[in-house]
Amino acid sequence: MPDPTCIFCKIVAGEIPAIRVHEDDRTIAFMDINPANPGHVLVVPRGHAPDLYAMPADDLAACALTAQRVARAVRRAVTPEGVNLVQANGPGAAQSVMHFHVHVLPRFQGDDLKLNWGLTPGDLEAISEMAEKIRDAMAASDAT
């Protein structure tokens, strides 16, 4: 059941724009507009669950599979030196949106990215260009 006050539920419903890189029947992946690094993508379930504890197992599995697929595409599109999957639960873990989500974070030697990286608005044009690269990389992997 969607939460009418949840920004991610509004993105899922198409009420708020997002730069989407993937959609299926259970998940949506879209670019973080406050990217910690170029290529930072969020994976969310279509159904609302505020955190890991409330996530239905099948939605959790779907998010994990989508995160893996997106991470592979990010690796091809961005060529980072590594990728972190970050998932936070509750204010003590710096969860800023109370809708389960996984951050797919490209990592680079010396990026000095901290676990709680803060929110710095990114260049939407650059984010859109990066989304296109990631979508292309996902399409290329689907073709093989």
* pLDDT in the model for residue 93: 92
Q: What domains sit in the chain, N to C, each tagged with a CATH number?
A: 7-126 (3.30.428.10)
In terms of phi and psi (left: phi > 0; alpha: psi -120 to 50; beta: otherwise), the region of 6 is: beta
Cβ 143 vs Cβ 76: under 8 Å: no
- How many Å is the Cα radius of gyration of the chain? 14
Cβ 103 vs Cβ 89: under 8 Å: no
All residue ranges of the chain with pLDDT < 70 are 117, 144
pTM of the model: 0.87
* pLDDT in the model for residue 54: 97
* pLDDT in the model for residue 87: 97
- The residues annotated as belonging to the active site are 101
CA separation, residue 14 to residues 11, 47, 128 (Å): 5, 14, 17
* pLDDT in the model for residue 86: 96
* pLDDT in the model for residue 119: 78
Burial class for 77, CB neighbours closer than 10 Å (0-12, 13-18, 19+): buried
Strand runs labelled E in 27-134: 27-31, 41-45, 82-86, 102-107
